[in-house]
A and B are shown apart, each in its own frame.
Chain A
Amino acid sequence: MEAIPLLAHESPSAVVAYRGGLAIDARQFIADAVRLGDRLPAGAHVLNVCSDRYRFTVGLAACLLTGRVSLLPSTHTPAVIRQLAQFAPDAFCLTDEPSCTIDLPKFHFPQFPQERGPTWQIPRIAATQLAAIVFTSGSTGMPLPYKKTWGKLARCVLDGAPRLGLLDGRRHTLIGTVPSQHMYGFESTVLLGLMSGNAFGAERPFYPADICAALAAAPHPRALISTPVHLRTLLAAGVDLPAVELIVSATAPLAADLAREVETRFGARLIEIYGSTETGQIATRRTADTATWHLWPNVRLTATDDRVFAHGGHVEQETLMCDIIDIVNDEEFLLQGRTADLVNVAGKRSSFAYLNTQLNAIPGVIDGAFFLPDADRLSGTGVVRLAAVVVAPTLNSAQLTEELRQRIDAVFLPRPLLLVDRLPRNATGKLPHHALQSLAERYLRGAP
């Protein structure tokens, strides 16, 4: 049976992570993973919420070594945690946050001594071993699980690493502004670091000044693994940008002019990655130069009727893509937008069907719908928020928001949330966007 090493670092002293200014080498990492694996409680499913990227990665490795499965839901709201506990009744939460409020049995990441293991041997994990289950919000109200084997996860980032120039023999440092638990952060910091033999920064810098400080402290060559929101904010913040060798962006399409500005200001190339929770990463492009996406070497797209499916390579099964895709040739495609139901706010994906189901499940809500208002201007981060119109005579907007907060990720909370007497449904019961938009505008002008 094929087995794939847990990490590609060739010597015990090769750096896996930088944490608080200190280098952690491969030998220490393996020792930490083995020790954690020995201490984990019973239960084969683990919700690893460690915010420290090194601890998250030790947690992932400990799970791989002991045959446990890491659960990666798209958000941690109380409702999603309850669904997770139903999905995997033996699940526990691995956390490095003393005041973690997630309602699952908790195991706190232990303090380990700074001692390396007695021997140096890189563990190998069977390619067919189930490593992770990732969830999309689905459209019915229940998150949809997608199983990821170790072999496919490893292959995904290995097939993509050459596009990023990360297998050129130099030791790169990956600085991520995305959490390890998000599919992109999971792939492009944690897995990419392990499988390409490079190092990642354990911290997750947040403010522009934090990102610059983390980059400035990282050894060259440096790669900034980020998103359109963070890149836009970095450019707008008026800070001096440290030299980097590579910038990677994903989670939402990056505008070509923003990509060019990022390249100019950083003096480095920017590679954009396209993927989805279902398929993992499948294509890259240099956005400053071209709109055309270049598929992973063995991944292919096939159009059937109006729908496009991905298959081959690391894609576990033929998967329907949620974006509108024009296939250029076997290896290239163009993105023409999202299907009408898909929602992307600040890189988090959901669907209107899911959000509307959650809204209408609230006791007291008679009818309600989310929509994306037409933005009259872009904010500094470039994020446009959803709005909602709701018929709920017994509830006020604060009560509704609190109920929604229990069910959906905070980025999707509607702003504004308009309480109305009835929704502008047409004869077939549908809600035309222009009717919602004009209703919202009338209400915001204070003339219902």
Chain B
Amino acid sequence: MSDKASLLQQPAPLADVGLRLEIATLFVQALNLEVTPQEIDPDAPLYGAGLGLDSIDILEVALLVSKQYGIQLRADSQDNQQIFRSLRHLTEYIAAQRTK
């Protein structure tokens, strides 16, 4: 496992909790999900079972992330599988990579 992957498994810094809720709120609004932002399990998979996002949602999320945080996601980056493992992983990725 790469250094980056093991970094992503460490617990979130406290500052990320606010960002996590912000991202969860964006998800619920943009994807029309039937849960409240607080109900999203930060460790549940985003794709498939778990939160139940599909590939169209992932595109929608990619647009949100590019607009809100100035990050262009790439499927061929080593991080991509990790990013969508959970809301916690996505939050950490955004916290580390955001340009706005």
Contacts and interface: CB of A to CB of B under 8 A. Distances in A.
Interface residues of A, number: 30
Interface string B26-44: 0000111110000000000
A184 to B, nearest CB: 16
**Which range holds the interface residue count of chain B?**
20 to 34
Contact of A380 (B30, B33, B55, B72): B30
Interface stretch (A54-62, A146-154, A218-226, A407-415): A407-415
B56 A346 contact: yes
B80 to A, nearest CB: 9
Contacts of A213: 74, 76
B19 interface: no
Given A233-B63, A401-B52, A411-B56, A209 B34 contact: no
Interface in B26-85: 30-34, 48-49, 52, 54-56, 58-60, 62-64, 66-67, 72-76
Interface in A145-191: none
Given A238-B67, A381-B60, A416-B34, A210 B75 contact: yes
Lowest 7 CB-CB distances: which A-B pairs, in order?
A: A380-B63, A209-B72, A410-B54, A206-B75, A207-B73, A346-B56, A416-B34
Given A238-B67, A415-B33, A209 B59 contact: no
Interface of A: 205-210, 213, 229-230, 233, 236-239, 346, 379-381, 383, 385, 397, 401-402, 405, 410-411, 413, 415-417
14 contacts: A206-B55, A210-B75, A229-B59, A230-B59, A233-B59, A233-B62, A233-B63, A238-B66, A346-B56, A381-B56, A381-B60, A405-B52, A410-B52, A411-B56
A379 B33 CA distance: 13
B34 A207 contact: no
A380 B74 contact: no
Nearest to A345: B56
Contacts of B56: 229, 346, 381, 383, 411
Given A229-B59, A415-B33, A207 B67 contact: no
Contact of A209 (B52, B55, B73): B73
